[in-house]
Each structure stands twice: as structure tokens, then as C-alpha cells.
Amino acid sequence: MRTLLRHSIYASGNFGKSTLWSCLEVFGLFYFTDALNLNPAIAGTILWLSFVWDSVSDPLVGTLADRYAGRVKTARPYVITGAIIAGLSFITLFALHRLGGGGVGLIFLVLILFRTGYTLVDVPHNAMLALITPDNKARSLIASLRIGFSGLGKLVMSLLAAILLTQDHPKPEEFETLALALAGIYVASVLISLIAYHEVALTQRKPENHHTLTRLVKIFTQNRRLISIFTISALTSLTTPVIGSILIYWGAHGPFTLAISMKGVGVLALSQMVALSVWTALNDRVLPTFKTAMLANTVVLLAALALCMVGGMSSAHSVSAPLAYSLISVMGFGLGGVFMLNWVLLPRAIDNDPLGEAKDYTLSLFGLFTLTNKLFMGFSSQISGLVLKAWGYSGENPSFESVVGMGQTLLTLTMFGALGVIVLLALSETKPRAPLMKRTPT
């Protein structure tokens, strides 16, 4: 029972991280285009460049933590420093309207500060999934708890947004109040989570046994499952973050209402949480992990197809709440399984490393994994902005057709991403055929 409590406290850090992350994922592009009146392509580019920096800083933090583990032995200094930087810069980002938007350069600078602080917390916290316990069943449970707390964080964010933001067209001041509340939740959550792992050593290696980048690359390239998992994570990160943006834009100017969309973000998060028990039960108990992941991606594909069809057959604000929530809940059910299983697969690949050395590079590998996720999330933001621009979107006077077309284009991207993951999973688990034995003449 004490172990379960400790693992739950550790996983609760995802609650705070999710409140900030999901707010930017859902409202970031919309805030830039409709509150700060930025060009959609420029807004998407700013978000993408901030993700590029984020992705560069992830392996940098992981590598430095591995290299200097003899001096900084625990995650405490990283988490405390990062939480303060991320919380303050997040509040500042949503207060830039007071400076008339602050200009593109200032927006980008504040985003960089936020991403840096977030990374200082995120990389060591994620790596603890492999360090806090060596038991794979316990890791599966912890991964489920992490995704559950992430869903809860997204749910709380959506509920606060529904309370604090005007339902027809949110004001910049309301976004500022929302950011202040979420930043407070974030700092409290990650510091409470630190209680569970503040004494866990960042590495089991001897301090003098520093690794080299060449060795890390060799470990990565010779581990077939690591390559497959990183590729799968890249596809997921590229094609699923667009769902939140689609909901908000479709609510403000498309087939949904903004009230339905804001509550829909909560439904999405709640369905992810509820689904975890199902995916956890299926994983390894009913189906192998890779087949469970294939099933989860199939659900995402079908949900995206259904949303695409409903959007194309609707007029402005005509989709009923029950239909919208049903489709969104199916999407959330699939996404919950996809996210959980991606994190379950990574520690297993590290444990089963053919060279037997991957455990010595846990933080570096988790840093690279986080890099992959965030880099392709950045590409996702860039694609969303470019698609909005291509459809002629304008925050001042958007047309219904452009908003629906944008959503259908991005949903098609989600479908192709899910299909690609299914194919990769099938190929990665296919065992090579044994070579045919030549018959010797008698």
C-alpha cells in the first residue's frame, strides 16, 4: 500500500504538467490568432520554433544530468528551479496583451523561457518511470497513473476555462486569469510529486564512468525496438495535438458551439482517464502490448474519420451536444491508450537492450524520447498554422468553410498518423523468417 501511495504521488506530477501543456495545446494558437491578432502562419511558426528549442534542451538536460550525476545526485534542484521559471513565464505569456501583444520577438522569448523551465522539470520526472522501480508490472501501473493524472489535469484546465472564459469570444484578460490559476496548480503539483522521488539517484553508474555521445548513438541504433518506439512516438506527436485546436476553432467559428467545445475538451480528458483501466487490463493480460497499441490507434483513426464526416455534413453551430460529446469521448478513449502504451514500451526497450548498457543512459534516452515528442508537436503546431493560412483563415472575420476545411485537413493528418503507427507496430513485431536449409545431394 505504501508503494502504491508513493507511485501515485510520483505520477501526480503529470497533473500539474498537463494543466499548462494542455492549455497551450488547446488555446495557444487560438490565443495568438484571435486575442493577439497574429497571422496564423506566424503564430504557428512561433510555436514550432519554441518546440524546436524545447526538443534541443531535452537531451541536453538529460545528458548533463547523466554526466554530472556524481555532483547533482537527485532531481530536486532541477525540478524546483524549473517549476519557478515555467510558472512565472507562463503567466507572463498570457499577460502580453497588456503590452499590445508585445511583438513577435517578445512572445518568442517568453515561450523559450517557459519551455526551458518546463524541460528542467519534465526530463527528470519522466526518467523516474524507469528509475523508481525495475518491475515492469509496476511501471505499467505507473504509466496508467501518469496518463490518468494528465487527463485529470486537462479536465481541470477545461473546467476552469469554461468558468473563466466568455463562451462566445474570450477576452485577453480572461486568459490572463486562467494562466495565473493554472501556474499555481502546476508549481504545487510538481513540488508535491517531488516528495516521492527526491532521494532517488539519477543514475546507478559510477561517477567516473562518463558516457560518450558515440556510445549512446551505438546503443540507440542497435536496438531495433528503440528505433521503432521513437518513430511511433514521432507520428503520434505530429498528428494528435491538432485535436484540441480543431475543437476550439470549430466551437468558435464552425459546426460546434464554443460552449460545447470547451466542455468537449473536458470530455476528451475524462474519457482518456476512464479508458486507462480498460487499456491496462488489455495490456499483457488479454493482448500483447503491441496489439493493444494497434487497437488503440484503430480507435483514434475511426474517431477522426467520424468527426471529419460530421463536420462536412453540418452547418454553422448545428451539431448537437450529445453527438459531439459521443465522438469526442471515443477519440479520448483511443488517445488514452495510445499515450499510455507509448510510455510503457520505452522502459521495456531499455531493459531489453541487446548491448545491456541502455540502463546506464536512462536520462539521456528519456531526454531523446521527450525531444522526439516535443519536436514533432512543434511541427504539428506549424502545420496547424499553415493549414489555417492555406484556408484563408482570419481571426477578425473567419468563414465557416475555411474553419471546417482546416479541421477536416488536420483530421486527415490524424488518420494517416494512426494508420502509420499501426503499420509500424505490425512490422516491428514481425519475426524474421529462418533461412531455408539447402539440401545436400545424396
pLDDT tens, position by position, 293-306? 899 999 999 999 99
Task: Calculate mean pLDDT across residues 411-434.
Answer: 82
Taking 90 as the threshold, does the pLDDT of residue 36 lie above it?
Answer: no
Phi and psi at 287, nearest 5°, equal: -130, 155
**Residue 203 corresponds to which cell in the numbers above?**
543514475
Say what the pLDDT of residue 68 is: 63
437 pLDDT band, cuts 50/70/90, is: very low
Residue 143 pLDDT > 80, yes or no?
no
At 35, the amino acid letter reads A
Residue 22 pLDDT greater than 80, yes or no: yes
Per-residue pLDDT for 219 more than 80?
no
Q: At what angle do helices 362-390 and 321-351 cross, to 10 degrees?
A: 150
**Across 27-32, average pLDDT:** 88
Helices 242-253 and 362-390 meet at what angle, rounded to 10?
A: 30
- Binned at pLDDT 50, 70 and 90, residue 436 comes out as very low
Domains recognised in the chain with CATH numbers: 2-203+216-428 (1.20.1250.20)
- Average pLDDT of span 383-411: 88
Backbone φ and ψ for 382, nearest 5 degrees, come out as -60, -45
**What is residue 69's predicted lDDT score, i.e. its pLDDT?**
59
Q: String of b and e for 293-305 (b: at least 16 CB within 10 Å)?
A: bbbbbbbbbebbe
Q: How high is the mean pLDDT of the chain?
A: 82
- Indicate if the alpha-carbon torsion angle 399, 35, 243, 324 is positive or negative: negative
**Is 318 or 397 the better-scoring residue by pLDDT?**
318
Residue that has been written with the C-alpha cell 476555462 in this structure: 161
- What is the per-residue pLDDT for 227? 82
In whole angstroms, what is the distance from residue 175 CA to residue 132 CA?
Answer: 37
Q: How far apart are CA 207 and CA 68, in angstroms?
A: 8
pLDDT tops 90 at residue 205: no
pLDDT at 208: 44
Residue 317 grid coordinates: 453551430
Give the pLDDT band of residue 430 (cuts 50, 70, 90).
low
Q: Rounded to an integer, what distance in angstroms lies between the CA atom of residue 61 and that of residue 175?
A: 31
Please spell the DSSP secondary structure of 46-77, one letter per residue. HHHHHHHHHHHHHHHHHHHHHHTTTTS-SSHH
> Smallest Cα–Cα separation from 24: which of 232, 190, 183, 230?
183
How many Å is the maximal CA-CA distance in the chain?
Answer: 91
- pLDDT of amino acid 180: 95
- Counting Cβ atoms within 10 Å, is residue 272 exposed (0-12), middle (13-18) or buried (19+)? buried
In 68-135, which ranges are continuous DSSP H helix?
76-93, 103-131
The model's pTM is 0.74
349, pLDDT greater than 60: yes
For the ranges 28-37, 72-81, 85-94, 181-190, which has the lowest average pLDDT?
A: 72-81
The Cα–Cα gap between 9 and 196 comes to 6
8 Å CB contact between 44 and 30: no
Is 60 exceeded by the pLDDT of residue 1? no
Contact 366, 62 (CB under 8 A): yes
Residue 426 CB neighbours (<10 A): 12
For 90-136, what is each residue's pLDDT tens digit? 999 999 888 776 678 889 999 999 999 998 888 888 877 767 777 76
Q: Of 146-155, 284-293, 300-309, give the lowest mean pLDDT range.
A: 284-293
> What DSSP string runs through 166-220?
-SSS--HHHHHHHHHHHHHHHHHHHHHHHTTTTTS-S--S-TT----HHHHHHHH
| Backbone torsions φ then ψ of 103, nearest 5 degrees | 85, 155
pLDDT of residue 225: 78
Report whether pLDDT(367) > 80. no
